[in-house]
Chain A
Amino acid sequence: MELYQKTLHEISTDLKTKKVSSVELTKTVMDHLEKVEPQVQAFITITREAALKQAAEADKRLSAGQDVTPLTGVPVAIKDLLCTKGVRTTCASKMLETFLPPYNATVVEKLYSMGAVSVGKTNMDEYAMGSSTETSYYKKTKNPWNLACVPGGSSGGSAASVSADQAFASLGSDTGGSIRQPAALCGIVGLKPTYGRVSRYGLIAFASSLDQIGPFGKDVEDCAIMMSAIAGHDPKDSTSADLPVPDYAVEAKKPVKGLKIGIPKEFFPDGLNKEVADAVKQAIEELKKQGAEIHEVSLPASPFALAAYYVLAPSEASSNLARYDGVRYGLRVPGENIMEMYSKTRAAGFGSEVKRRIMLGTYALSSGYYDAYYLKALKVRRLIKQDYDKAFEKVDVIATPTAPNPAFRFGEKTGDPLSMYLEDVFTVSINITGLPGLSVPCGLSKTGLPIGLQLIGKAFDESTLLRTAYAYEQATEWHKQKPSLREA
């Protein structure tokens, strides 16, 4: 087994026991990364030199045995909407092609302070708007399990890079499913934490009330280690919660006996992809075998979640993206006057999906339409929240499919925005409610594409999600499967 194929917790032990130095490891990982990158295309910016410098620093800590953390010396990847000081952060948009942030996102700062090594910035849908990473201005990231398929999105690069062993773990962000869906499609573990669990400072906003940063890992334990690293209150983010952060890797290993798992019938509609339905049902059976109790629950407002989401998220986006006006940073296309400069800059800088959502959101917030759209969506949001509150009076975790289908082919949904939006049908309600959600591999389709099991937890109870996923993972082999890196 190659070093880069190991899990984060395995390589962390190797580093601590000095079986390998971080510089050696980083070189090996970078070599592999660069070798497979032409196939996978997971990165917008690769930072080999900076990574080797960080690795050398990590080696000092490791050899001194001081300030050694589970991430010291470990190569990781960062989604290109998390600000990295002096390293360009594009949000996969032409608008920010040359943008060099003068500061690090809090999560980046946290990873760096623990001694993690950043290999580069991963590809994504432009401004995180998409479910296939196809809206990136720069490139199309391929699904390592079948290069003809999308990796999911919007954090497609972060998911594909971990799946293809280009990094031991990565950070993504999830506004409507952007961590969980690509994790499912790429056969890895992805966690969207509770809203407020992780600081959003330095995350280039898509929809502020829905965005949340979270980790991708090759297995549940890796995900737990990353989660412990990034969680916690940040005075720079007023919406971050001031709550203690447990050691998730320890929490994950506790047994699931007696745990109550809810199955919402609304997430298993007629016509759901049979392979997905079967894999998820089988996963639930497995958890039952381990002593978990299975209960049916109902989330009746769920069918309205997607519609509410596609009002709320674009509304916030229309405001969040208004600052890209060519005045202070990023792209500027000159015009005869200020209005012309604004429109030319924004016309040239944004791709069509971003423009579509800005228009949707502007419309929904406009006077005369606000009550019918934005306000109505807020009401739906409250109803959905009530559904979950009620369900969680009975159960500890809710289990559903992560995505309605395994990975689809390039271009399959780009012509029809609605079919693309339907990719988020099982994931958006979790962002609307702010609850934590996790995707863990639970099978492969006949064509060899991964399927994900989504676990939804109570607010700030990531521990129970990780515990459930860990128990399931220990009993199965899905997470040990490796992608082919071939086209099929």
Chain B
Amino acid sequence: MAIEYEPVIGLEVHCELKTATKLFCGCRTTFGNEANTQVCPLCLGLPGTLPVMNAKAVEFAVKIGHALNCIISKYSKMDRKNYYYPDLPKAYQISQYDKPLNYDGHLEITLKEGTKRIGITRAHLEEDAGKLVHAGGKAGRLDSSDYSLADYNRGGIPLVEIVSEPDLRSAEEAYAYLTELKSILLYIDVSDCNMEEGSLRCDANVSVRPKGQSQFGTKAEIKNMNSFRFAKQAIEYEIKRQIALLEKGERVIQESRLWDVTENKTKPMRSKEEAHDYRYFPEPDLVPIVLSADYVQKIKNSLPELPAAKRARFASKYGLTPYDAGVLTDEQELAHWFEEGAKHTKSPKGLANWMMGDMAAKMKEQKKELKDLKFDQKKLCELVDLVEAGTINSKQAKEVFAEMFDAGISPAEVVKSRGMAQVSDPKAIESAVDKVLAENPSVVADYKGGKQGVIGFLVGKVMQASQGKANPKLVNEVLKKKLDV
């Protein structure tokens, strides 16, 4: 009998904080500027320089702690993580070892089968390293290159490393975790979370074990996953790889592996690059971070409503499904757009449907963001209400929406200028129905003979006669009334 395997996944996410200046000096943190233009003696590791803690970075880190339901340490300290690499000018990274700023937290992910709580081991503060560009050689690796160029603009930018518990059981869960985490970080406005620019980076610890076994299997650490999609693919691949090994009776080796985007597989890193004893010890150039209860509380009070809370509220207040609430609250801007719009319609659900349907599709297709839209919530609500009131039918509504989307014209105007208003006058419909019934006696006879399905044909005829303007619901009702007499 084949053994069923269960994957165990933990994620380490590095999030660059969007402070104006670096963690320990006054250099700017702007992305994409010319190499080594945002550096000073400190970020170049010149002798005699001393780090000075950026208070804003501590504040942002505490925000993250709160948002992830962590315990915030009233007393924490910085430590030195010692290793040699040319992107690390001091040959040590100032990080946190045994007294992280935030620990023992959790976040909630939404899955098809419901929500699941994922533990956060710790979220600590540290500095980013510089960036190396390896010239020549193969595969952009340091060791085989002809020479390497170092850019220290990124060196010293504040990072928060968020380490999850090994609570994730599939690539989908990992993906949901990353999405939720990013959403939270964007909500609390502490990071750009731009994976392409490296302001959000992720490593995964993946292992598999026979289902039911409590002991963990041997894990591999996967690096170089530059997007959530790659992370999902890489984890999926790695799970399959490990299961295949075990099924062949082989062992999983504890190692770091890189996700190779071109080959769609994980590959082992050179083992030399990971054989580290970091020799952590307390950073003597900085004083411990001591936070008052008052300070910690103040930051907590400053937090906005977080995605999970907003989801729950949207579902109950606006009658949305958990899925719809999730889509609308994924990004704070979208949630805000919806909520502002909901004030202008009696059918928030209708608004939500438009936003997630035609609006989302067209925005994606035309690569537009909310700020690029030519219409506001009021106009979209106008459309929602026109449909709700039966003034136009859904087919017409699509046309009206397109016109509003492309040219910003208000739905009422479109309806008016195109003479689209749906005919809901019972008398007008009644006369149209009478006319159609008179013209189609055989169909009427069929109906009366028991073929009730032919009513669709008659509705179509009435609609045709009204050039599509008749309210189909009303037409249906009137027809039935007349036929069933």
Residues of A at the B interface (CB closer than 8 Å) are: 82-83, 89, 91, 96, 99, 101-103, 105, 200-205, 207-209, 235-239, 315-316, 318-319, 322-323, 325, 327-329, 337-338, 342, 362, 365-367, 370, 374
Contact = CB atoms under 8 A, between A and B. Distances in A.
A91 B86 contact: no
B50 to A, nearest CB: 5
B281 A374 contact: yes
B47 interface: yes
A238 B52 contact: yes
Contact of B143 (A237, A329, A338): A338
Given A238-B52, A315-B281, A323-B47, 6 more contacts: A208-B285, A319-B80, A323-B91, A327-B86, A327-B89, A366-B279
Nearest to A337: B143
B400 to A, nearest CB: 62
A174 to B, nearest CB: 16
Contact of A362 (B44, B53, B90, B279): B279
B284 interface: yes
A328 B92 contact: no
A319 B50 contact: no
B41 interface: yes
B287 interface: yes
Residue in A91, A338, A370 with the greatest tally of chain B CB atoms within 10 Å:
A338
Contact of B45 (A102, A237, A318, A323): A323
Contacts of A362: 279
Interface in B45-99: 45-53, 80, 82, 84, 86, 89-92
B156 to A, nearest CB: 14
A474 B285 CA distance: 39
Main SS of the interface on chain A?
Answer: loop
A467 B287 CA distance: 31
Contacts of A322: 82, 84, 90-92
Nearest to B83: A322
Nearest to A374: B281
A208 B287 contact: no
Residue in B45, B280, B286 with the greatest tally of chain A CB atoms within 10 Å:
B45
A325 B142 CA distance: 16
Given A102-B41, A328-B44, A200 B89 contact: no
A236 B47 contact: no
Contact of B286 (A203, A204, A238, A337): A238
A239 B285 contact: yes
12 contacts: A89-B47, A91-B47, A96-B47, A102-B41, A202-B49, A239-B286, A316-B284, A325-B84, A328-B89, A329-B44, A338-B86, A365-B280
A208 B91 contact: no
Contacts of B280: 365
B257 to A, nearest CB: 22
Interface in B135-149: 142-143, 148
Given A236-B52, A322-B90, A325-B91, A205 B47 contact: yes
Interface in B142-169: 142-143, 148, 150
Given A316-B284, A323-B90, A338-B143, A105 B277 contact: no
A305 B92 CA distance: 28
Contacts of A101: 41, 46-48
Contacts of B281: 315-316, 319, 365, 370, 374
A338 B286 CA distance: 30
A205 B48 contact: yes
Contacts of A201: 48-50
Contact of A105 (B48, B80, B89, B279): B48
A322 B85 CA distance: 11
Contacts of A204: 47-48
Given A366-B277, A366-B279, A238 B53 contact: yes
A200 B49 CA distance: 9
Contacts of A89: 47-48
A315 B82 CA distance: 11
A103 B148 CA distance: 28
A64 B91 CA distance: 49
A329 B82 contact: no
Contacts of B41: 101-103
Nearest to A210: B284
Contacts of B44: 328-329
A200 B47 CA distance: 11
A86 to B, nearest CB: 13
B272 to A, nearest CB: 8
B179 to A, nearest CB: 36
Contacts of B49: 201-202
